[in-house]
Structure 1
Amino acid sequence: MPSILLRLILPIFFHTAITTALYLLLPLGPLESTALSALLCTPALAYIYTKDQTLRSLPTPSPSLPWPRLLPIPAFGAALCLLLNTIITALNLPQNSPSYQEAASAIYSPPFILQLLSTALIIPIAEELIFRGMMFAPFRDKLSFLPSACISALIFALYHGNLPQGVYGFFIGIAAAWLYELYKSLTAPILLHISANLLSVCITNTDFLTPLFAAPTSTTLTITAIISAAISIVCGIWIYQKNTLKEDIL
């Protein structure tokens, strides 16, 4: 257990310390500092993850997978993003969370291209290395799938620092852990994370679905939730059927 706790603390501390140092020492905003930290940390995190797999006497999951097996993941991630944002909006969580408003301002104030590169590409890779590769995987050695996924997803949720993003992060974390379990590769959860964040950035910065989240009604939110839930379920079944597990993940 001490070794597992060390794996939990060190990667987050490493990433957070570098982010803080960049923010304090350079003329960068919170998003730019986080993205640059993720970019700098990713090679080290990937090395530690690979060495950790070796120490645990496990083969390092291959980053390359046949593209047909990955095909439903972007749709799955986008549908989950839409479903979770619809539920969070219906519950008025963003309006009741000043910390979320502050975080959203930091994320969505920079230029659109910077948001795409940071939020939808660079940061998800580092976060999946930390929260799925270096947290979920060691817990999975000791526990069954569900508690391992919930613990890593809960830490991922708390890492975001506010309730709306925490709720979103928890369920995305569960889905990402499930994909890691099925595919035995970080490529799958990274692709899920990227697709979900990509849609979120596009919704915020374009007119795409703006009426839904800018002036939501119970009818539009219900319809959107039903459609996105249906797409999520169909994609989830497709993903499960394309990946044969050697053991019961529950």
Structure 2
Amino acid sequence: MAIWKVFSPVLLHFVISEIVGVLAAGRLDSALATLLSSLAVLPFAARMYREDRRESGALPGKKIRMADVFQGMLCLFGGAGANLIWSGILLALRIQEFFSNAAQEALFASSLPVQIFSLVFMAPLTEELIFRGLVYRRMREILPAGVSVLLAALIFSLYHGNVIQAVFAFPMALILGLLMEKKRSLVFPVLFHAGANLAAVLPGFF
């Protein structure tokens, strides 16, 4: 039962994404298909998240403080910086010469507005809701923090489906899990994730 509870959000995301992928094949590019998948998954994931919080007796959100705004901006720029540093390391290691990265390259074939809305806004929100808001939080009910951070990061990286994206995603997911554990709020992982994706999108247009 505990395993099903942990993995059911991932299965939800996978099934909906596959359905959208089949319907969009030959009609929409990858970024638009990702956008539609995120929009389709979001209401179901949000409902599951609300139910989890209600069952756990989570308190209502606190008022936003200036410190929260500052920390949020740090997460946004920190995500961008982490992306650039880790991308540079992988480029130096020439990992792209040994494995295909066609899936990610297809995502970056869309127009800038589509990529911004899909990859910088919707994908981070939906993926963090699934992997940190649901998978990680549910793991924390039965496992220590360190183990939960590690396992959630592993699931997140493997879910990306190819070696290059998995290798890139794993250390980023460790940071996302640590942010969730430290701040106990989805806002900070979402901002970090958005910053990382923004740093991946913008260089293709400038």
Please give the TM-score of this superposition, normalised by the length of structure 1: 0.75
* Structure 2 counterpart of 1:73: 75
Q: Quick one: distance in 1 between partners of 2:59 and 2:129? A: 16
| Aligned residues of 2:79 and 2:192 also touching (Cα < 8 A) | yes
Number of residues of Structure 1 aligned to a counterpart in Structure 2: 202
Q: CA deviation at 1:43?
A: 2.0
Structure 1 residues 156 and 195 mapped into 2: Cα distance closer, same or farther (>3 Å)? Answer: same
When Rg is computed on C-alpha atoms for both structures, the one with the higher figure is 1
| Aligned residues of 2:76 and 2:192 also touching (Cα < 8 A) | yes
Q: Quick one: distance in 2 between partners of 1:175 and 1:16? A: 23
- Equivalent residue runs for 1:1-250 within 5 Å: 2-3=1-2, 5-26=3-24, 27-59=27-59, 66-98=68-100, 100=101, 102-203=102-203, 205-207=204-206
Q: Quick one: distance in 1 between partners of 2:138 and 2:63? A: 18
1:184 is aligned with what amino acid? R
Q: Quick one: distance in 2 between partners of 1:23 and 1:129? A: 21
Q: Quick one: distance in 2 between partners of 1:60 and 1:24? A: 39
Structure 1 residues 25 and 75 mapped into 2: Cα distance closer, same or farther (>3 Å)? Answer: closer
2:129 is aligned with what amino acid? L
Q: CA deviation at 1:104?
A: 2.4
Q: List per-residue Cα deviations over 1:166-207 (Å, max 9, x = no partner).
A: 12211111111111112111000000000010011112x134
In structure 1, list runs of 5 or more residues that go unmatched: 208-250
In structure 2, list runs of 5 or more residues that go unmatched: none
Please give the TM-score of this superposition, normalised by the length of structure 2: 0.90
Q: CA deviation at 1:17?
A: 1.7
Q: Quick one: distance in 2 between partners of 1:64 and 1:93? A: 42
Q: Quick one: distance in 2 between partners of 1:140 and 1:63? A: 25
Q: Quick one: distance in 2 between partners of 1:167 and 1:68? A: 30
Q: Which has the higher contact order (CA 8 A, sep 6+)?
A: 2
Q: Which stretch of structure 1 is more off in the superposition, 140-149 or 120-129?
A: 140-149
Q: Quick one: distance in 2 between partners of 1:62 and 1:123? A: 25
Structure 1 residues 14 and 118 mapped into 2: Cα distance closer, same or farther (>3 Å)? Answer: same
Q: Quick one: distance in 2 between partners of 1:162 and 1:60? A: 39
Identity of aligned residues (%): 28
2:19 is aligned with what amino acid? A
| RMSD over aligned Cα atoms | 1.9
Structure 1 residues 131 and 20 mapped into 2: Cα distance closer, same or farther (>3 Å)? Answer: same
